[in-house]
Amino acid sequence: MLEDLFKVVTARFNVDDSAKAPDTPAEKQFKCPRCSESCTADELENNKWVCPSCGYHSRISARERLSITADKDSFVEYDKDMTSLNPIDFPDYEEKIAGLREKTGLTEAVITGECTIKGERCIIGIMDSHFMMASMGSVVGEKVTRAFEAAAEKKLPLVLFTASGGARMQEGLVSLMQMAKTSGAAAKLSQAGGLYITVLTDPTTGGVTASFASLGDIIIAEPKVLVGFAGRRVIEGTIKQRLPEDFQSAEFTLENGFADMIVERKNLRRTIAHLIRLHKPYKEVDIRV
């Protein structure tokens, strides 16, 4: 059902030999899929993986996201060694997971832990689309749920960066149950009076959008990211209507009240820290400028 949803983003973050400029054959180049301008991979990284020509926010790994968000050496990872099983004996699933672990250096599609952001303590979770499109299987759901529980127990805000193709169908019904589990954990954090900030990155779709990604007290989106549930073709075929051209974009979600703000990547760290500071109990607020 979601196949058509990703056709428009297939080439968004490919940096390969075909993108090298002729005058710099030995240096990796990034060719922006939006404006077609090229820059070196180093220039792109120095600009927080945002195209310097048009502002396109390319997809980045969880570790890269962590490096530009958390204070240096402040991150303490949770549940690092938690790994998936094969609950429905899906063919070759275990081999695929093993290959992705070796390729990405991750054990699963999300990393969670505790850190500080500009001095503000929080629980953080970051989904990585390079690991099975950050689909939500049993381990992703469990790690996200434990992040909610840790935030409630430690009375810390939770910041979740979402990027996902939805539920992981290789785990069948077990994956779908993670929607209910994570949503229930989000409700418990809310009942405990905790702050939950969601940051929607490219793309946030399917069962993740339909569960914890849409439940943030404050929902931030990066510019022009894809946010939705089913694909455009599926929806148009169901409702028999043509959808707007900007449908399922960050700007569309902001205009229609789903997202609260759109924040460029260079400003995200400061914005998140500011929001955490604003929602502290009065006696804990540091009023120094």
Instruction: Please tell me the predicted confidence (pLDDT) of residue 28.
Output: 81
Dist. CA 58–CA 30, nearest whole Å: 10
Domain architecture of the chain: domains with CATH:
1-58 (no CATH), 60-280 (3.90.226.10)
Q: Are 263 and 222 in contact (CB under 8 A)?
A: yes
Place of tokens 């609950």: 87
Retrieve residue 161's tokens. Answer: 């960066």
Burial class (CB in 10 A: 0-12, 13-18, 19+), 167: buried
Which of 205, 225, 226, 203 lies closest to 214 in space, CA to CA? Answer: 205
Instruction: Report the C-alpha gap between 246 and 235 in whole angstroms.
Output: 14
CA torsion through residues 180, 185, 188, 189, sign: negative
Q: What local confidence, expressed as pLDDT, does residue 1 receive?
A: 45
Q: With 0-12 CB in 10 A as exposed, 13-18 as middle and 19+ as buried, what is 15?
A: middle
Q: Which residues pair with 40 in a beta bridge?
A: 29
| Tokens linked to 108 | 């699963």
Rounded to whole angstroms, how far apart are CA atoms 216 and 109? 20
**Which residues have a Cβ under 8 Å from the Cβ of 40 and sit 6 or more positions away?**
24, 27, 28, 29, 30
Cα 269-271-273 angle, rounded to 5 deg:
70
Residue-level pLDDT at 57: 94
The conformation of residue 241, written as its DSSP 8-state character, comes to S
Q: pLDDT tens string for the chain (289 positions)?
A: 444 544 544 544 444 443 444 444 446 889 998 899 999 999 999 999 999 999 999 999 999 999 999 999 999 999 999 998 999 999 999 999 999 999 999 999 999 999 999 999 999 999 999 999 999 999 999 999 999 999 999 999 999 999 999 999 999 999 999 999 999 999 999 999 999 999 999 999 999 999 999 999 999 999 999 999 998 999 999 999 999 989 999 999 999 999 999 999 999 999 999 999 999 875 565 555 4
Q: For position 289, what pLDDT does the model report? A: 43
Measure the CA–CA gap between 11 and 30, rounded to whole angstroms: 11
- CA-only gyration radius of the chain, Å: 19
Give the per-residue pLDDT at 284. 60
> What does residue 205 show for φ and ψ, rounded to 5 degrees?
-145, 175
